[in-house]
Amino acid sequence: MLNASAALAGLLFGLGLILSGMTDPAKVLGFLDLAGRWDPSLGFVISSAVGVGAVAFALAKRRGRSWLGQPMQLPAATRIDRRLLLGSLAFGAGWGLAGFCPGPALVSAAVGHAEALVFVAAMLAGMVAFGLVEGRRRGRSSATDMEPAPIPAE
């Protein structure tokens, strides 16, 4: 049931991205082009997502278990630190250069857009590189034996 729910949520998310045009890098870059032909439509998509997310998190905070009976796992980190800021800057730079963020890139790659396939390959390479560096930093031998751990406060 969990896998079916995850698949349904992923399909719904992907369909929403396609219908809103967010899998088109030109649409995203148009939103980021404040000095040129600015396209505000991504702002409406983001606002809708933030609104739905705010309601969902408010409801989730009141529950001990998900609708499928799993323990509720909400983020505990509330601190803005150097790693968060640097990661946000890297994410924003990649988004601005390519016009893709991970979700829309995966949807675009799944339907065969070549530039999305390149982006996803680069994203995966970056994730592997991070895993290797982080694994060494924590004293592990490879990215594959890493387990999720809280990021230490700086």
Q: Is the pLDDT of residue 123 over 70?
A: yes
Domain-located, residue 65: yes
Residue 138 three-state SS: coil
Kindly state whether residue 154 falls inside one of the protein's structural domains.
no
Q: Return the pLDDT at 141.
A: 53
Number of domains observed in the structure of the chain: 1
DSSP letter at 152 equals: P
Is the residue at 13 inside a domain?
yes
- Dist CA 9 CA 70 (whole Å): 16
Does the residue 111 lie in any domain? yes
Task: Provide mean pLDDT across the span 87-101.
Answer: 89
The model's confidence at residue 142, banded by pLDDT at 50, 70 and 90, is: low
- Decide if 152 is inside a domain: no
Per DSSP, helices labelled H in 23-149 are 25-32, 41-61, 82-98, 102-110, 114-137
C-alpha to C-alpha distance for 46 and 16, rounded to whole angstroms = 12
Q: What is the pTM of this model?
A: 0.69
Structural domain includes residue 139: yes
Q: Within a domain: residue 123?
A: yes
**pLDDT digit string (tens) for 4-62?**
998 998 899 888 888 888 888 888 889 888 888 899 988 898 899 899 999 998 998 88
Expressed as residue numbers, the domain containing 128 is 2-145
Domain-embedded: residue 151: no
